[in-house]
Amino acid sequence: MTEIRNIVVLTGAGVSAESGVPTFRAADGLWEGHRVEDVATPQAFRRDPALVQQFYDARRAFLAKVEPNAAHLALARLDAAWPGEFLLVTQNVDDLHERAGSQRLLHMHGELKRALCTGCGAAPAWLDALEDGPPCPNCQAAALRPDIVWFGEMPYHMAEIEEALAACDLFVSIGTSGAVYPAAGFVDVARRAGAATLELNLDPSAGTSMFDTARHGPAGILVPAWVDGLLASIKA
């Protein structure tokens, strides 16, 4: 463990599940009762903007009802204490990592608490509903959409993430099904860079065989245990 200096952690919906945020790939194939192509694509937004705005307005409002769990708190503890490079990349659009105190954090699929101007491209912090069509506070003209990376759109911060993956000694994937690229391919990038790889997930992900080590169980148990072990190794 002592040779580990640079760490990249990827999180998905499973890290927020114990906070009460539903994961995406439920057994019925629906996301909160909707087909993904009806709410999470640019085509859906063009076809029925009101439905898409209502959907994300409800998700944004729901954030007031949930709190970070033991996994979010442990990752923030690791960020604060780790002496080497550390990057937490989340696919989640909730704000539970930042509310837990994580600092070195990138949201690759956007953020519920941000809007995106369809005209000027500004991405202002946004806590209210978008359904009534408020104008962009920057250009005062164009409409705002949720600042969410939909299917078919380019995830954010990819250059920075790839740079961190290429330089990491340890890559850890937490609470993600490994069904959506490019995030599902990060384990392969890290392996090629010579990093050790660890999966912490409720059950084996689609890419579980690509990891050196996989531990299966709830993130609220597995993540604090892993963080405690890692921090103990730097004190030893």
Distance CA 89, CA 111 (A): 13
Q: Is there binding between residue 41 and ligand APR (CB under 6 A)?
A: no
Q: 106 to 135, contacts with ligand APR by CB under 6 A?
A: 109
Q: Is there binding between residue 180 and ligand APR (CB under 6 A)?
A: yes
Q: Is there binding between residue 202 and ligand APR (CB under 6 A)?
A: yes
- Cis check: omega of the bond before 182, within 30 degrees of 0: yes
Structure-block tokens of residue 1: 């463990």
Q: Is there binding between residue 219 and ligand APR (CB under 6 A)?
A: yes
Q: Is there binding between residue 59 and ligand APR (CB under 6 A)?
A: no
Q: Is there binding between residue 185 and ligand APR (CB under 6 A)?
A: no
Rounded to 5 degrees, what are φ and ψ at 130? -110, -5
CA distances to 4, 213, 236 from 84, rounded to whole Å, are 8, 22, 16
Among 6, 53, 102, 177, binds ligand APR (CB under 6 A): 177
**Beta carbon of residue 203, minimum distance to ligand APR (angstroms, whole number):** 5
State the DSSP string of 69-117.
Answer: -HHHHHHHHHHHH--S-EEEEE---SSHHHHHT--SEEETTEEEEEEEE
8 Å CB contact between 97 and 88? yes
Rounded to 5 degrees, what are φ and ψ at 36? -60, -35
Distance CA 187, CA 193 (A): 10
Q: Is there binding between residue 62 and ligand APR (CB under 6 A)?
A: no
Q: Is there binding between residue 203 and ligand APR (CB under 6 A)?
A: yes
Q: Is there binding between residue 179 and ligand APR (CB under 6 A)?
A: yes
Q: Which DSSP category does 123 fall into?
A: -
Among 6, 9, 14, 165, binds ligand APR (CB under 6 A): 14
Among 102, 176, 186, 207, binds ligand APR (CB under 6 A): 176
Among 9, 10, 17, 187, binds ligand APR (CB under 6 A): 17
Pick the stretch among 21-29, 45-53, 136-144, 159-167 that binds ligand APR (CB under 6 A). Answer: 21-29
The one catalytic residue among 72, 97, 107, 109: 109
Tell me the longest C-alpha to C-alpha distance in the chain. Answer: 58
Catalytic annotation present for 109: yes
| Tally of helices (H runs) and strands (E runs) in the chain | 9, 8
Pick the stretch among 19-27, 97-105, 130-138, 186-194 that binds ligand APR (CB under 6 A). Answer: 19-27
Catalytic residue annotation: 109
Which residues contact ligand APR (rule: CB under 6 A)? 12-14, 17-18, 23-25, 91, 109, 175-177, 179-180, 201-203, 205, 218-219
